[in-house]
């Protein structure tokens, strides 16, 4: 059920101008959209995953109390969150088997590469920080900075759980897709560890609605 806080309706932002609350290619930075096309050619999964995670973030963000401008930042960050994978070699990015320690280490650079790409653009500085934090965990076990709880921006907390859910229900080169129920169980098990409780609850609510509507 759509409520007033849900996307698709125009909202007033802090400077009192109307803005769209949806986010799509063309709403962002053309140079970054071009880089996303390159990423799509390199690894189709990552680019389409970013799109789906942005949609999930759009729905779940208001449920954890994100204000419209925070929501837009979260959606924009979600849309570009794995853009730093452009800096990861294909043999690692699409490897069908388990990664070696050094391959895993190279993957952990992608949030920082993503932040560096976005921070060249003045209008997306906060989204750049959100991207840097999208693998941080509520209990400090994430990367690259091992941030904990309130040190992690709210937009990055919702992005984190939306990212994990979409990855779990997607087929990957190294495993089949998990069923919705299995993914939900894993999200629930991660509450308070990987995931901020409110962000996880928001994601669980909207995925439950989406699953029932499907």
Applying CB under 5 A, which residues contact Fe ion? Answer: 82
Q: Which is nearer to Fe ion, 89 or 208 (CB)?
A: 89
Q: Which CA distances in Å does 164 have to 26, 157, 197?
A: 25, 11, 14
Q: How far apart are CB 84 and Fe ion at their closest, in Å?
A: 8
Q: How far apart are the first and last CA of the chain?
A: 13
| Lookup result for tokens 């669980």 | 204
CB of 135 to Fe ion, least distance (A): 6
Tokens (6 digits) for 155: 């937009």
Tokens 């309706």 belong to 9
Nearer of residues 136 and 196 to Fe ion, judged by Cβ = 136
Q: Which distant-in-sequence residues (6+ apart) come within 8 Å of 151 by Cβ?
A: 136
- The residue at minimum Cβ distance from Fe ion is 82
CB of 144 to Fe ion, least distance (A): 11
Instruction: Identify which of residues 82 and 136 has a Cβ nearer to Fe ion in the complex.
Output: 82
If the CB atoms of residues 21 and 118 are measured against Fe ion, the closer one turns out to be: 118
Comparison of 82 and 166: residue with beta carbon closer to Fe ion: 82
Output the smallest distance, CB 13 to Fe ion, in A.
Answer: 27
Q: Which two tokens stand for residue 9?
A: 């309706």
Least Å from the CB of residue 120 to Fe ion: 19
Is the bond into 144 cis (omega within 30 degrees of 0)?
A: yes
């Amino acid at each position: 059920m759509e409520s007033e806080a849900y996307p698709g309706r125009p909202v007033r932002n802090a400077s009192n101008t109307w803005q769209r609350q949806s986010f799509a290619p063309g709403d962002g930075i053309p140079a970054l959209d071009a880089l996303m096309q390159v990423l799509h050619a390199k690894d189709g999964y990552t680019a389409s995953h970013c799109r789906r995670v942005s949609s999930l973030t759009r729905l779940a963000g208001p449920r954890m109390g994100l204000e419209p401008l925070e929501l837009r930042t979260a959606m924009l960050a979600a849309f570009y969150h794995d853009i730093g994978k452009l800096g990861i070699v294909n043999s690692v990015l699409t490897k069908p088997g388990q990664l070696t320690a050094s391959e895993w280490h190279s993957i952990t650079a992608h949030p920082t590469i993503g932040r560096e790409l976005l921070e060249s653009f003045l209008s997306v500085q906060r989204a750049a920080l959100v991207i840097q934090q999208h693998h941080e965990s509520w209990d400090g076990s994430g990367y690259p900075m091992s941030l904990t709880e309130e040190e992690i921006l709210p937009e990055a907390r919702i992005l984190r759980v939306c990212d994990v859910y979409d990855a779990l229900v997607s087929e990957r080169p190294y495993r089949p897709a998990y069923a919705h129920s299995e993914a939900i169980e894993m999200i629930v098990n991660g509450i308070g560890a990987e995931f901020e409780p409110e962000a996880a609850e928001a994601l669980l609510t909207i995925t439950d609605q989406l699953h029932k509507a499907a």
